[in-house]
């Protein structure tokens, strides 16, 4: 009789204890603590928003990495533009090793590479995943010919990487493209093209037409941003045949040289003027392993 009264009363407690142990084990496996709460979820969202940076600005860099650079040199130069706050970097030149470039970037960054045939310049884009969300990317064939200074010969197809990125803090969307114009384009004495390199000049015109199409094809809400080793000295570009006449003026782009006296470089960050965000400031980093400065441009929301 005692036995019959004991088991019916004790059995539910055994089941409850077993269920509690099983639940605790499941929580440990899934990594969820019993004390997890909505407050912790809100804190995680705040941390992600903080990582995305201020909603009122973002920073873009262009960096020409010299062919054959190794990880220590690339890591040094990338670190310099990162110190200026860059969250998007457009690279130029054909790179020695794609894995080496990936290894040179912080872990939170994504590298977007072109899918061109052997002989193309690699013009990748890298971005910080904590700051930007990738919506779309593709490789755009810009020209079937371009000039390569190392050999003095015509190179193969020239691609540019295009990335549509949404800023996690502000929701602002940019259509960014990284490209590299041919060398020896510019007659700095006349301010116009170097007609001795007519093949390179005509390749630049084809590339400029493709860049214009990429910009004009973007939805109205997307801001076009270009990162370019343009090989045209900005303050001596005085005709309608080079960067100003074929790219920046037709597309109404401002650059790191816009409105500033003394601009003389060939490395550009370009941004569409008809946008909520405009180039507020820029900085040039010259203490680099590569032979070009790194340009970091800060875009700020219009007031």
Q: In this predicted structure, what is the pLDDT of residue 187?
A: 96
Give the neighbor-by-neighbor strand order of the sheet with 294-301.
109-112, 125-128, 88-92, 57-64, 294-301, 277-285
Q: Give residue limits of the domains in the chain.
A: 2-36, 58-301
More confident residue, 231 or 55: 231
Is the separation of the CB atoms in 125 and 161 below 8 Å? yes
Confidence of residue 96 (pLDDT cuts 50, 70, 90): low
Region 120-141: mean pLDDT is 92
Is it true that domain 58-301 has CATH number 3.40.50.2300?
no
CA 182, CA 258: separation in Å to the nearest integer?
22
- Ranges assigned E (strand) in the chain: 57-64, 88-92, 109-112, 125-128, 132-143, 146-148, 153-155, 158-167, 173-180, 186-187, 192-193, 223-229, 253-255, 267-272, 277-285, 294-301
| Position with higher pLDDT, 48 vs 286 | 286
pLDDT surpassing 50 at residue 229: yes
- Among the residue ranges 16-20, 65-69, 111-115, the one predicted with the least confidence is 16-20
- Judged by average pLDDT, the poorest of 43-47, 132-136, 269-273, 291-295 is 43-47
User: What is the mean predicted confidence (pLDDT) over 202-217?
Assistant: 95
Q: Where are the beta strands (DSSP E) in 31-79?
A: 57-64
Going from the C-alpha of 28 to that of each of 32, 41, 78, the distances in angstroms are: 6, 18, 40
C-alpha span between 146 and 131 (Å, rounded)? 34
Q: How does pLDDT run across 233-270, given as a tens digit for each residue? A: 999 999 999 999 999 999 999 999 986 666 789 999 99
pLDDT bracket for residue 21 (50, 70, 90): low
Supply the pLDDT for residue 167: 97
Q: Which of 296, 248, 292, 256 is nearest to 272 (CA)?
A: 248
Cα–Cα distance between 279 and 44 in angstroms, integer? 31
| Across 32-46, 200-214, 251-265, least confident range | 32-46
């Amino acid at each position: 009789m005692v036995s019959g009264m004991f088991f019916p009363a004790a059995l539910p407690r055994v089941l409850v204890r077993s269920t509690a142990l099983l639940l605790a084990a499941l929580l440990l496996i899934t990594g969820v603590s019993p004390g997890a709460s909505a407050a912790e979820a809100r804190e995680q969202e705040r941390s992600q928003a903080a990582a995305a940076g201020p909603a009122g600005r973002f920073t873009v860099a262009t960096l020409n990495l010299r062919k054959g650079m190794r990880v220590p040199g690339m890591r040094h130069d990338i670190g310099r533009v990162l110190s200026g706050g860059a969250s998007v970097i457009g690279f130029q030149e054909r790179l020695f090793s794609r894995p080496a470039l990936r290894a040179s970037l912080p872990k939170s960054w994504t590298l977007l590479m072109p899918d061109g045939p052997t002989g193309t310049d690699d013009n990748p884009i890298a971005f910080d995943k904590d700051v930007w969300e990738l919506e779309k990317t593709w490789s755009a064939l810009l020209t079937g010919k371009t000039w390569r200074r190392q050999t003095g010969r015509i190179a193969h197809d020239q691609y540019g990487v295009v990335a549509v990125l949404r800023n996690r803090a502000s929701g602002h969307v940019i259509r960014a493209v990284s490209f590299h114009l041919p060398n020896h384009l510019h007659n700095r004495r006349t301010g116009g093209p170097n007609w001795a390199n007519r093949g390179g000049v005509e390749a630049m015109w084809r590339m400029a037409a493709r860049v214009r199409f990429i910009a004009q094809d973007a939805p109205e809400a997307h801001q076009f941003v270009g990162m370019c080793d343009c090989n045209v000295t900005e303050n001596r570009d005085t005709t309608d045949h080079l960067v100003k006449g074929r790219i920046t003026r037709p597309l109404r782009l401002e650059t790191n040289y816009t409105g500033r006296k003394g601009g003389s470089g060939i490395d550009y960050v370009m941004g569409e003027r008809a946008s909520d965000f405009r180039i507020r400031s820029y900085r040039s980093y010259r203490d680099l392993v590569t032979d070009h400065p790194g340009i970091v441009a800060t875009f700020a929301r219009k007031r």
